[in-house]
């Protein structure tokens, strides 16, 4: 696991350097393809490793499966973003061999993203888990960013929706907001989960929409792959994280 994480860190370091216009290498397509293959091949026989992508409201065709009708329905219902001219957006879908209540117990933990996000070393909360609360996330060494300040925009335990907005940090992701939804499904006759994550973000000066999306998609793919690994391991062990009760409406 450490070796794989180191490989991903190296990949993200070079691609982020490109994103910063440092131009260390001219092969960002190759590096992101390699990262995508790494995630796909971690356990390529499991349907949880399929990722479909829509970028800037256009469906991507580079090896990704087309969206199913049910995926399209959920995306249209929960993942609409109003884009400005200087912004880009993308939507990714992951299928996980674990029941929805278990996956949601991890996703909803705004106060503990390190439970499944591999690049988060520490999270410090400001306030409770109510809407508007803020967390300071520390990123593990080996990546170009060190901190990210993020605000909880939406937490719906009935519909399984989490909304987050980045409000600060030493990175170039300005006006970044994301929506994650979690949906029950059946995989191989057993309870499974469909996770959909979408985002919108400003395109930094000197970068293109595709370059910006490449970088953010790589991070999200890593997070979703790790979410699948952790959830499926917990499902096998029969574990479920307790869902905290939020006394604030």
pLDDT tens digits, 65-86: 478 899 999 999 999 888 899 9
> What is the predicted pLDDT for the residue at 16?
52
What is the average per-residue pLDDT within 16-39? 41
pLDDT-derived band of residue 56, with 50, 70 and 90 as boundaries? low
DSSP per position, the chain: -HHHHHHHHHHHHHHHHHHTT--S-S-HHHHHHHHHHHHHHTTTTSGGG-EEEEETTEE--SSPPPPPHHHHHHHHHH------TTEEEEEEEEEESS-HHHHHHHHT-TT-GGGT-TTEEEEEEES-SSTT-EEEEEEPTTSS--EEEEEEEEEETTTTEEEEEEEEESSS-TT-EEEEEEEEEEETTEEEEEEEEEEEEEPPTT--HHHHHHHHHHHHHHHHHHHHHHHHHHHHHT--PPPPP----
**pLDDT confidence tier of residue 240, bands split at 50, 70 and 90:** low
| Tokens describing residue 6 | 């180191």
Q: Is the pLDDT of residue 184 over 70?
A: yes
For residue 100, pLDDT beyond 70? yes
Point out which residues pair with 32 in neighbouring strands: none
Mean pLDDT of the region 192-208: 94
Q: Of the given ranges (65-74, 163-172, 210-219), which has the lowest mean pLDDT?
A: 65-74
Query: Rounded to the nearest 10 degrees, how much is the dihedral formed by the CA atoms of 188, 163, 36, 64?
Result: 60
The confidence band for 226, taking pLDDT boundaries of 50, 70 and 90, is: very high
From CA 118, how far away is CA 6, in angstroms rounded? 11
8 or 94: which carries more pLDDT confidence? Answer: 94
Q: How confident is the model at residue 244 (pLDDT cuts 50, 70, 90)?
A: low
Name the band, by pLDDT with cuts 50, 70 and 90, for residue 127. Answer: confident
Mean pLDDT of the chain: 78
Domains (ranges, CATH) in the chain? 2-237 (3.30.530.20)
Task: Give phi and psi for 52, each to the nearest 5.
Answer: -105, 150
**Beta-strand pair 190-202/177-187:** antiparallel
**pLDDT for res 247:** 38
């Amino acid at each position: 696991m450490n070796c794989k994480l180191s490989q991903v860190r190296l990949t993200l370091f070079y691609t982020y350097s490109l994103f910063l216009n440092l131009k260390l290498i001219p092969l960002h397509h190759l590096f992101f393809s390699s990262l995508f293959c790494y995630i796909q091949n971690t356990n390529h026989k499991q349907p949880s490793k399929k990722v479909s992508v829509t970028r800037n409201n256009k469906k991507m065709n580079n090896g990704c499966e087309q969206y199913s009708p049910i995926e399209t329905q959920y995306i249209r219902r929960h993942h609409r973003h109003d884009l400005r001219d200087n912004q880009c957006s993308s939507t990714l879908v992951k299928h996980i061999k674990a029941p929805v209540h278990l996956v949601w117990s991890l996703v909803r933990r705004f106060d503990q993203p390190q439970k499944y996000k591999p690049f988060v070393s520490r999270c410090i909360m400001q306030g409770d888990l109510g809407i508007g609360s803020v967390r300071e996330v520390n990123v593990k060494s080996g990546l170009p960013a060190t901190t990210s300040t993020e605000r909880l925009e939406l937490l719906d335990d009935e519909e399984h929706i989490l909304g987050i907005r980045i409000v600060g940090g030493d990175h170039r992701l300005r006006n970044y907001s994301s929506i994650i939804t979690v949906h029950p499904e059946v995989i191989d006759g057993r309870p499974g989960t469909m996770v959909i994550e979408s985002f919108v973000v400003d395109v930094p000066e000197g970068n293109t929409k595709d370059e910006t999306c490449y970088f953010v998609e790589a991070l999200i793919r890593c997070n979703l792959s790790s979410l699948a690994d952790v959830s499926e391991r917990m499902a096998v062990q029969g574990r479920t994280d307790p869902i905290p009760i939020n006394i604030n409406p």
